[in-house]
Amino acid sequence: MAETHARRSRRPAGALAALFLAAALALTGCGANGDSSGGTTASDSKADMSGRQEGALNGDSGSAQSSGEAADAPIKVAPSHIIRTASLTVRVKDVPKALDEARTVAENAGGFVADESTTRDGKDRERTRVVLRVPTEKYEEVLGELEGTGKLIERKTKAEDVTEQVVDVESRIKTQQASVARIRELMDRATKLSDVVTLEGELSTRQADLEALLAQQESLKDRTSLATITLSLSETAVKKSDKDDDPGFVDALAGGWNAFVAVFRWLAMALAAVFPFAVATALVLLLWFRLTRTRRPRPAAATPDESESEES
């Protein structure tokens, strides 16, 4: 009986140990499943992160490649607006001929003569001032040809960049045009006479501002598309030695006459300078002569006895 009781007591204990072992295995399996699922999630997240990083790297490389291509591509420079002016002073022997050459040069370049004036000095030498307008792309070429018409005395050039002014005027024109369009729309919708009158006054003001801006734009366009060149032509005095090195009879006669005129002129100037002193000296001598003559004693008249004795 005792052995039977001991065997019965051992069986429940083994059963309990088996249950505890199964529970432990079950818990271990759940933990493993959880760890495996967690490891899969972590690996997936790592894969996603690596994918994102690769995509970012690809994007960076793509942007770097595009920036490299943009750097390799030629840079487009905005067109500049430059006002070019120049002034030339050239000495020539024949002013009319040089003026015709300057006109021809300007016309061949597609330009024109804007202003012209001619004067003569005391020696009957001509001096002409002409203003030429030529296309900007022909500016340097025309300057070179004009300098070759004679001896260059003076040259001044100036270049003024008005690109910012041109862009500003264009922007203001667009804004003003939009403003005028809005005023017109309001006028079309206006129903009251007072509103129409007010809008008409505002429209006239904005249109006047727009016309002023358009005129300024046209002036800038004209000055930037056509360069202004002011050319001054002066005539060279021709010396006699340039014409004939050996003087002739006419030259000798002219030289003698010039010498005679010069001597006569100097004599006349000397006499004119001495004349006041001569007149004053003559007046003093005349007065002195009269005074001394009045002071002389008159001779006494002879008596009759003296005259008889002298006769005997």
Range 37-58 average pLDDT: 41
Q: Which tops the pLDDT comparison, 103 or 31?
A: 103
What is the structure's pLDDT at 13? 47
What are the distances in angstroms from CA 54 to CA 49, 61, 67? Answer: 8, 10, 19
| pLDDT for position 6 | 42
Asked if 159 and 83 touch (Cβ cutoff 8 Å), the reply is yes
Q: DSSP for 176-187, please give it.
A: HHHHHHHHHHHH
- Give me the pLDDT at residue 65, please: 45
Average pLDDT of the chain to the nearest whole number: 74
pLDDT score recorded for residue 206:
92
CA angle 289, 293, 299 (to 5 degrees): 160
- At 205, the pLDDT band (50, 70, 90 cuts) reads very high
| Position with higher pLDDT, 90 vs 290 | 90
Q: How confident is the model at residue 252 (pLDDT cuts 50, 70, 90)?
A: confident
Q: What pLDDT was estimated at residue 26?
A: 47
Closest residue by Cα to residue 132 from 161, 175, 100, 167: 100
pLDDT the model gives residue 33: 44
Distance CA 151, CA 145 (A): 12
Helix/strand/coil for 287: helix
CA 191, 194, 200, 203 torsion: positive or negative?
negative
Residue linked to tokens 């003087």:
247
Per-residue model confidence (pLDDT) at position 261: 81
Cα distances (Å, whole numbers) of residue 28 to 23, 34, 35, 97, 186: 8, 10, 10, 117, 83
* Closest to 117 (Cα-Cα) out of 129, 103, 101: 129
What's the mean pLDDT in 144-156? 90
When pLDDT is cut at 50, 70 and 90, the band that residue 213 belongs to is very high
> Could you give the residue ranges of the DSSP H alpha helices within 148-248?
163-189, 193-225, 240-243
Counting residues of the chain whose pLDDT is more than 90, the rounded percentage is 37
Per-residue pLDDT for 139 more than 80? yes
User: According to the model, what pLDDT value does residue 185 have?
Assistant: 92
Please state which of the ranges 118-127, 145-154, 253-262, 289-298 shows the lowest mean pLDDT.
289-298
pLDDT beyond 60 at 174: yes
Cα–Cα dist 223/85, whole Å: 9
Residue 302 DSSP SS3: coil
Looking at residue 66, its pLDDT comes to 44
| Alpha helices in 73-149, H assignment, sequence order | 95-108, 139-147
Q: How confident is the model at residue 103 (pLDDT cuts 50, 70, 90)?
A: very high
Other C-beta atoms lying within 10 Å of the C-beta of residue 39: 10
Weakest mean pLDDT among 74-78, 88-92, 171-175: 74-78
